[in-house]
Amino acid sequence: MDQSHSADFFDEGCLIGVLTTQPLDRVLDYKAPQGGCWRGAFVEVPLGPRKVLGVVWGAGSGDFDSARVRSVIRVLDVAPMRAELQSFLSRAASYTLTPLPAMLRLATRAPGLGDPPSMRKIYRLGDKTPERMTDARSRVLDVLRDYGGLAFTLRELAEQAGVTSSVIKGLVKQGALIEQDSPRDLPYPRLDPDLPGKTLSDDQARAADALRDALRQGGYGTTLLKGVTGSGKTEVYLEAVAEALRLGQQALVLLPEIALTAEFLTRVEARFGVRPAEWHSGVTMTERRRIWKMVGQGDAQLVVGARSALFLPFRSLGLIIVDEEHDGSYKQEDGVLYNARDMAVLRAAITGAQVVLASATPSLESWANADAGKYRRLDLTSRFGASVLPQMRAVDMRREKLDSNRWISPALVEAAAGRIAAGEQVLLFLNRRGYAPVTLCRACGQQIGCAHCDARMVEHRFLKRLMCHQCGETTPIPTECPHCGAEDRLAPVGPGVERLAEEAAERFPDARIATLSSDLFASARALKARIEEIAAGDADLVIGTQLVAKGHNFPNLTLVGVIDADLGLQGSDLRAAERTFQLMRQVAGRAGRAEKPGLALLQTHQPDHPVIRAILSGDEDGFWQAEAAAREAASVPPYGRMAGLILSGSDVAQVFDLGTVLARNAGPLLQIGAQIFGPAPAPIARVRGRHRVRLLIRAPKAAPLQDAISRWLAPVKLKGDLRLAVDIDPQSFL
């Protein structure tokens, strides 16, 4: 290629604009280095006394004194950022009102990108046991066991285990660890799309054909793939992945829960012969860098990952799957506030890729987009093979006789006992971790709250501590009331899964009971192992939080008892009904996955509530239509736009003052027809000692909301420790 004539190549000395990962609000001018550089090149540039990472964003602005413009230090030996990713980062930044450098940080979350390819020492488990076991030593071995055979560098391992490198060296001498030389970054093995997949049902085959056709036609498109849990959606979208691979494109599968990826990776391996690249917070730094580089040079065909995988520098991304697209965890709730599902659609639209949104219970947003013809919709109408959806029935708790501090109704006890006697499994579902959500003093009537947050301390009897689910603070369970000092008058109120397990043990003395709650396991791996044991039959009664509602198959589970179906209906969240509907359907979907028909019993005090009725009747489209009509009438998402503004600071009066000033000077918002609510204390009004105040903005659907918010906030200067965060399309209203 004649480099000198390409608009995307800059000769040595040319003025170029470099976007760095530093928190500056502009692209900086530099001179192209010796040999020139491409637009998109990753470079190291001087910034004050430091060297920082950056990307050649385009031509320089010429706004700087040309005598003082410095040269790029070096061009890194990695694939340049493609124009597609540049434009995605820019668009995502303006959509979420995030500074561009923060977006670039998301896209470069792998250390040592500039390091030359080389060998390094890695450490893995050996087969000897050290002569003397110390705490530090066992921590090292635990880390390696937890990551199941992954190897670490010295620094990573020392950091993960919180030990010095001499501890690791000592273990090597003893043969408990093995030290090896390993090339830094290897390509991933090739996946074989032509290995035989499962024989698809007619429904599945039709859906797979449609997805394959869309991929062959090329260009952007989004498909909502809807089907109850177990209807075989995964098999269908794996066929789409196969087609993308055949076309020489890369594919990305996003999953909501790290804990569940292992089962999925095994399925990928069964389908394509090898495991794909895996990207999430549990992946070592070394592996991150490898994925990042290999994705960029096209040597990783398939990435399975958490939401941030969306910012990887794919070379030829042709397909993005967002599995369980309705899942709340796709919304990143701190740092850059983005919704990975929406950003997946944005990236695909820019790069001309296909998106598949898979769910048994789609979000109302996606449902409405399909309804409006913006998304294609494919339905898998029955469960794969013989299994059928469970029957659902309400247990009217107003009629059940229950002693105080008992939560399992006689009707549920009877049904469960029958199933257990028949050798089948039962799930009792309660979406509350810990022993009891409230600890109350019987002398003064006060509840124990967190010292730093506006949240109650939750008793975790298993850990023998009270814990704040907001900030994670824990304290020993006190014997005297922190308010009035009375001895031994503290009492737990209400059930968490641990307390439910106690009750279950009394009611079902002969049953093997397993309690599944994220905080009861030391690692995601340990939890996963336990889930697998249970699925294989190693428990009669499972007690679990929403953790079990997602994805995992329990073939012998035939009864689900929902302890408190009303739990999610409380509160003012605009998505409360939608969430309850989704969660209840998913939990119920755990029952009767194999040949045995399932039953779901929902304990409720409001059997006539429209949401409970919709869940019971199974009239999904009826539910969505009613919910859509209600949202449309209220002009709330997806029929209107919302943004949240969270102000925080240590001085509550200052925070409120700022909120009031902002609300009074909201001209740019009023101009676009938006309404502004607040300032009001945020639902969680204090976190880690900081007071939080919220403003809520509601705008017509077509209004240029981000632009108006930018103009509104432009004059704001934050004093002291005041902070401000904008949340476009808020999900949680925290």
Contacts with ligand ADP by CB under 6 A lie at 198-201, 204, 227, 229-235, 384, 553
Does 454 participate in binding Zn ion (rule CB under 5 A)? no
CA neighbor of 419 nearest in space, from 575, 611, 615, 554: 554
Contact 101, 64 (CB under 8 A): no
The stretch near Zn ion (CB under 5 A) out of 179-187, 325-333, 443-451, 579-587 is 443-451
200 binds, among ligand ADP, Zn ion, none (CB under 5 to 8 A by kind): ligand ADP
Pick from 15, 73, 349, 471 the residue near Zn ion by CB under 5 A: 471
Interatomic CA distance for residues 404 and 533, integer angstroms: 34
Q: Cβ neighbours of residue 339 under 8 Å, at least 6 residues apart?
A: 330, 331, 332, 729, 731
* 450 forms part of the interface with Zn ion (CB under 5 A): yes
Query: By CB neighbour count within 10 A (0-12 exposed, 13-18 middle, 19+ buried), where does 683 fall?
Result: middle
Q: What residue 203 binds from ligand ADP, Zn ion, none (CB within 5 to 8 A, per partner kind)?
A: none
Q: b/e map of 488-498 (b: 16 or more CB within 10 Å)?
A: eebebebbbbb
Q: What's the min distance (Å) between Cβ of 551 and ligand ADP?
A: 7
Cβ neighbors of 226 (< 8 A, separation 6 or more) are 358, 359, 360, 362, 377, 378, 379, 380
From the CB of 225, what's the least distance to ligand ADP, in Å? 9
Kindly state the smallest distance separating residue 191's Cβ from ligand ADP, in Å.
18
Nearer Cβ to Zn ion (154/684): 684
Q: From ligand ADP, Zn ion, none, which one binds at residue 473 (CB under 5 to 8 Å depending on kind)?
A: Zn ion
Residue 231 binds which entry of Zn ion, ligand ADP, none, CB below 5-8 Å type-dependent: ligand ADP
- 569 and 600 in contact (C-beta within 8 Å)? no
Question: Which DSSP state fits 451?
Answer: S
How far apart (Å, rounded) are the C-alpha atoms in residues 307 and 268? 19
Shortest approach of Zn ion to residue 470 CB, angstroms? Answer: 4
Examine residue 37 and tell whether it contacts Zn ion (CB under 5 A): no
Where do we find the tokens 């302890």? 563
Applying CB under 5 A, among 453, 481, 587, 646 the residue interacting with Zn ion is 453
Q: How far is the CB of 199 from ligand ADP (least distance, A)?
A: 6
| Amino acid type, 537 | G
Q: Which residues contact 734 (CB under 8 A, 6 or more apart)?
A: 333, 682, 683, 684
Contacts within 8 Å (CB) and 24+ apart, 608-616 = 609/566, 609/569, 610/577, 611/569, 611/577, 611/580, 611/581, 612/394, 612/565, 612/566, 612/569, 614/581, 615/392, 615/565, 615/580, 615/581, 615/584, 615/585, 615/588, 616/392, 616/393, 616/394
Q: Which DSSP letter does residue 500 get? A: H
Out of Zn ion, ligand ADP, none, what residue 233 binds, judged by CB under 5 to 8 A for its kind, is ligand ADP
Q: Which does 495 bind (CB under 5 to 8 A by kind): ligand ADP, Zn ion, none?
A: none
DSSP 283-332: S-HHHHHHHHHHHHTT---EEEE-GGGGGS--SSEEEEEEETTT-GGGB-
Give the Cα separation of 677 and 666 in Å (integer): 11
Residue 452 found at the interface with Zn ion (CB under 5 A) = yes
**Candidate ranges 45-53, 65-73, 86-94, 468-476; the one touching Zn ion (CB under 5 A):** 468-476
**Partner whose footprint covers residue 470, from Zn ion, ligand ADP, none (CB < 5 to 8 Å by kind):** Zn ion
Pick between residue 147 and residue 435 the one whose CB is nearest to Zn ion. Answer: 435
- Which pair of structure tokens corresponds to residue 710? 């930018």
Q: Bridge-partner residues for 647, per DSSP?
A: 693, 724
179 in contact with Zn ion (CB under 5 A): no
List, as own/partner pairs, every contact residues 620-626 make where C-beta atoms lie below 8 angstroms and the sequence separation is at least 24, other chains included: 620/361, 620/585, 623/581, 624/364, 624/367
Give the residue with the Cβ less far from ligand ADP, 555 or 681: 555
Nearer CB in complex with Zn ion: 16/453: 453
Q: Which of 396, 473, 502, 519 binds Zn ion (CB under 5 A)?
A: 473
| Residue from 315, 256, 366, 336 nearest 92 by CA | 336
Q: At what angle do helices 524-535 and 261-272 cross, to 10 degrees?
A: 70
CB of 451 to Zn ion, least distance (A): 7
Q: Which of 387, 470, 517, 580 binds Zn ion (CB under 5 A)?
A: 470
Q: Examine residue 468 and tell whether it contacts Zn ion (CB under 5 A).
A: yes
Of 384 and 435, which CB lies nearer to ligand ADP in the complex structure?
384
Residue 351, contacted partner among Zn ion, ligand ADP, none, CB below 5-8 A by kind: none
Least distance CB 236 / ligand ADP (angstroms)? 7
Nearer to ligand ADP, 384 or 554 (CB): 384
Q: State the sign of the Cα–Cα–Cα–Cα dihedral 422, 424, 428, 433.
A: positive
> How many C-beta atoms surround the C-beta of residue 318 within 10 A?
23
| Number of Cβ within a 10 Å radius of residue 713 | 14
Q: Is the Cβ–Cβ distance between 289 and 185 less than 8 Å?
A: yes
Count of chain residues binding Zn ion (CB under 5 A): 7
Give the residue with the Cβ less far from ligand ADP, 57 or 384.
384
Q: Which does 308 bind (CB under 5 to 8 A by kind): Zn ion, ligand ADP, none?
A: none
Q: How far apart are CA 295 and CA 368, in angstroms?
A: 33
What phi and psi, each to the nearest 5 degrees, are found at residue 606?
A: -130, 60
Distance from C-alpha of 693 to C-alpha of 648, rounded to nearest angstrom: 6
Closest CB 385 distance from ligand ADP, rounded Å = 6
Rule CB under 5 A: say whether 448 interacts with Zn ion: no
Q: Residue type at 28? A: L
Least CB distance from residue 358 to ligand ADP, whole Å? 7
Choice between 205 and 718, CB closer to ligand ADP? 205
Q: Judged by CB, which is closer to ligand ADP: 152, or 264?
A: 264
Closer to ligand ADP by Cβ: residue 384 or 508: 384
Mark the segment that binds Zn ion (CB under 5 A) among 7-15, 44-52, 358-366, 461-469.
461-469
Least Å from the CB of residue 546 to ligand ADP: 17
CA 320 to chain centre: 16
Per-residue burial over 370-407, b = 16 or more CB atoms within 10 Å of its CB, e = otherwise: bbeeebbbbebebbbeebbbbebebbbbeebeeeeeeb
Nearer to ligand ADP, 177 or 600 (CB): 600
Min. distance of Cβ 731 from ligand ADP in angstroms?
23
Residues in Cβ contact with 48 at an 8 Å cutoff, skipping those fewer than 6 apart: none
Closest to Zn ion by CB, 688 vs 711, is 688
Q: Which does 452 bind (CB under 5 to 8 A by kind): ligand ADP, Zn ion, none?
A: Zn ion
Nearer Cβ to ligand ADP, position 204 or 515? 204
Say which entry of ligand ADP, Zn ion, none residue 227 contacts (CB below 5 to 8 A, set by partner kind): ligand ADP
Q: Measured from the CB atom, is 262 or 713 closer to ligand ADP?
A: 262
Nearer to Zn ion, 322 or 450 (CB): 450
Shortest distance, CB of residue 686 to Zn ion, whole angstroms? 8
Q: Which is nearer to ligand ADP, 20 or 387 (CB)?
A: 387
Residue 230 touches which of Zn ion, ligand ADP, none (CB < 5 to 8 A by kind)? Answer: ligand ADP
Alpha-carbon distance 102 to 90, whole Å?
11
Q: According to CB under 5 A, which residues from 527 to 556 bind Zn ion?
A: none
Q: Quick one: what does residue 540 bind among ligand ADP, Zn ion, none, with the CB cut-off 5 to 8 Å set by partner type?
A: none
The rounded distance, in Å, linking the Cα atoms of 42 and 76 is 6
Say how far apart CA 176 and CA 499 lie, in whole Å. Answer: 41
When CB distances are held under 5 to 8 angstroms depending on the partner's kind, the choice from ligand ADP, Zn ion, none that residue 573 binds is none
Which residues of the shown chain bind Zn ion in the complex (CB under 5 A)?
Answer: 450, 452-453, 468, 470-471, 473
